[in-house]
Structure 1
């Protein structure tokens, strides 16, 4: 995590480049290099706040602000009408968390420890919820891909809003489940997470969080403004930028945290980062983006066929790998292999 802070130098460089009217491609690269460490700083700020708010509230804040970068980038993409980039970044964040983060965590932890165990009950709840969330995300797309287009009418646009409302309700109910009715399932994890001491004062943590959020918003506008230029100059498709590049930029700090936790033999935390973050993207971030799109141009939550297959495969594998409560390095390699196959497929689009 420490090496990410050296990348903060790119923030003033990006501001100077914008003042000098640098090309959109250069601005995209500089913004990407700036957002990665800022996301790390934001994560560190929420972690410090958790020491004062308690582990339960802290865990919720960590998950929420961990996906704030993705939400901010998507907001500016929505404003520019880059709907395919937004939708593919949602799918990419979920696929990246489940396959790349979880795979890298299991591989790194498995190379140090022969077998690692985790709270099977928590993972079963999270995996089941993830399966439901992906089904809910896929139904509108399956509907449009299978029904005769002549049978569709203008009411179809409202389907995405209905799904978004249901997703948000399920998200709130999942918080009630973990915070109140079944909090005993999560008690062991919370005790472990709450054992350290804060390095910052509460005032400093809040200030850092606010500054990091503002800077990420500015850099996100630079990033999104350069997407079309990057796709043309490098010959990349919007799907590849959305499903691979943007999720890696927005979640790089969170990804490295998952690997570090696995190497410390804290697979419960690594799994929560991977699966918990994916859940929040589907149940919270995606619905919020649909509602935000109503301000500009309504966005439907319809994915293409390959995005659907990639999402379903990722969730199926995650459920299969985590159902025994143990992990090893080979399972990590398998998850990474699937991720790279999917990434290569999107690259040639």
Structure 2
């Protein structure tokens, strides 16, 4: 699997070269760029893990949260620059829902029965629930009128700031808690050198930005050709692609028997998007074109429903294939809901 991912990194320069030299059909560009983003996301995660061996678990966790979300962040900011606000909101919503239902469900299906960390799950559920409640502040007024008007933008800013503060508090607490943990010595480290890991992060992030620009630029034409709405493509396809490597990692971990770790990866990823990535996109968009968190009714329903179904399914704190099937089935229903929703105003 690792060898295949390494080899598939060649798709990124190929997609970039084709875009600038051959100018292929938009559908070809979108599909190729989407596939190329998967190994790039994996490389960013891989380089982050190697860097973490040098920095220790605390800073390593911070690096993972920051760079692990890089593909989604880059896609979102490029879409903001293109004025595709529905695409941005849809991809972020789809990412949270996908982690809660699809990734966690697939992990439970792939892994063995076992106990889960109830406290860790509760923290993730609380963070996501708090975020969804705050999203109502700008979303409810956006359900009537232009969802991108100035009022919605100004209502979104304090929401983003509060969520980011929550994330920073949790991060600082985590750093302090891990301060006393062992950091490997140079003799113990078998990973890439810190310089090599940081260089890989830099190169992968730059290439990801170029490929993401191709993806976003061809999204509308691809959606038209496929008979899909921009919102559906963003909330389902782009959301899965942006997290594909991380999603696959959780399922592989579960398949290897580490079901507790796999569940934590899926839930923590969903929480990170809700309380870190979404507010980060809002604040960074001020440098480009202010983004309003005017989520549609269907998006709020999907977020709240996914959170509720996942919390009820995992209430007993145990993993099983039946619970996994319930979550994956719920994701299929959300995909159908997104397809039927179409464009505004629903």
Per-residue CA deviations over 1:9-37 (Å, capped at 9, x if unaligned) read: 32232133121222322221221111111
Structure 1: gaps of 5 or more residues: none
Find 2:156's aligned residue among 125, 147, 160. Answer: 160
What is the aligned partner in structure 1 of residue 257 from structure 2?
265
What residue in structure 2 maps to residue 172 of structure 1?
A: 168
1:48·1:199 contact (CA, 8 Å) conserved in 2?
yes
Question: Quick one: which of 127, 135, 138 aligns to 1:137?
Answer: 135
Query: Which of the numbers 31, 43, 46 marks the counterpart of 2:45?
Result: 43
Deviation at 1:336, TM superposition (A): 0.2
Q: CA deviation at 1:89?
A: 0.5
Cα-to-partner distance string for 1:129-164 (whole Å, 9 max, x where unaligned): 22112222233213443xx769xx964431111111
| Aligned twin of 1:239 | 231
Quick check: 212-221 or 285-294, which moved more?
Answer: 285-294
User: Aligned residue pairs: how many?
Assistant: 334
Cα separation, partners in 2 of 1:139 and 1:320, compared to 1, 3 Å: farther
Tell me the residue number matched to 2:68. 66
Equivalents in 2 of 1:171, 1:121: separation in Å? 17
1:156–1:108 CA distance, 2 compared to 1 (3 A):
closer
Q: How much does 1:293 deviate?
A: 2.5
The CA deviation string for residues 167-209 of structure 1, in whole angstroms up to 9 with x for no partner, is 11111112133333xx38x99xx89xxxx96332222111111
Moved more, 258-267 or 39-48: 258-267
Q: Which of 108, 115, 118 in structure 1 is aligned with 2:116?
A: 118
Q: TM-score, normalised by structure 1?
A: 0.89
Structure 1 position 234, deviation (Å)? 1.1
Cα drift, residue 126 of structure 1: 2.1
The Cα shift of 1:56 comes to 2.3
Structure 1 vs Structure 2 CA RMSD: 2.5
1:130/1:275 contact within 8 Å kept? no
| Deviating more after overlay: 242-251 vs 60-69 | 60-69
- Name the CA distance, whole Å, in 1 between partners of 2:162 and 2:220: 33
Structure 2: segments with no counterpart, 5+ residues: 183-187
Change (3 A) 1:303 1:11: same
User: Do the aligned residues in 1 keep the contact of 2:76 with 2:281 (CA within 8 Å)?
Assistant: yes
| SS of structure 2 residue aligned to 1:46 | helix
- 1:63 touches 1:276 (CA, 8 Å); kept in 2? no
Task: Give TM-score, length-normalised by structure 2.
Answer: 0.89
SS, match of residue 191 in structure 2: coil
Q: How far is the alpha carbon of 1:45 from its aligned partner?
A: 0.5
